[in-house]
Amino acid sequence: MDLKSIEAAKRRVGGAFRLSVLLQKRIIELVRGAPPVIDHPERERGPIQVALREILDGKISLEMIPADSFDKLVEQARQEKEARAAARDAEMGSMPPGAPSGGFGGASFDLGGEPKK
């Protein structure tokens, strides 16, 4: 899978988000045993490459996903994003006062003030 293929797939489906949703849905189907709809799927290295080739060949599209399934995928993605943000906020909230807040592996730097003599 190269960058040109990904860019072509994004153009074909209408953007990165739509490509992400379609790939997620199709990869799940393939992993659960759905048959590939391309010729010679054995040439591909795995379900991601099979799904990408199916998109590039015009064999699958978002219009093939029922609207309620698409809405569920969008809601699931939103919930996962919110859960990651909440976990990150909880992690930051559990740090002791004065602890460095990330960046350089916990190292803190004094970039201000007068030079030491």
At 78 the three-state DSSP class reads: helix
Asked whether the beta carbons of 13 and 22 are under 8 A apart, the reply is: yes
Question: Which sequence spans correspond to the domains of the chain?
Answer: 3-86
Is the pLDDT reported for residue 111 higher than 80? no
Over residues 47-97, the pLDDT tens digits come to: 999 999 999 999 998 876 666 776 777 777 778 889 988 998 888 876 555
Looking at residue 24, its pLDDT comes to 92
Q: Greater confidence, 103 or 114?
A: 114
pLDDT at 100 over 60: no
pTM for the predicted model, two decimal places: 0.55
Q: What is the pLDDT of residues 18-52, one digit of tens each?
A: 999 999 999 999 999 999 999 888 888 899 999 99
With a CB cutoff of 8 Å and minimum separation 6, the contacts of 21 are 62, 65, 70, 73, 74, 77
Higher pLDDT pick, 42 / 115 = 42
The domain covering 3-86 belongs, at the CATH homologous superfamily level, to: RNA polymerase subunit, RPB6/omega (3.90.940.10)
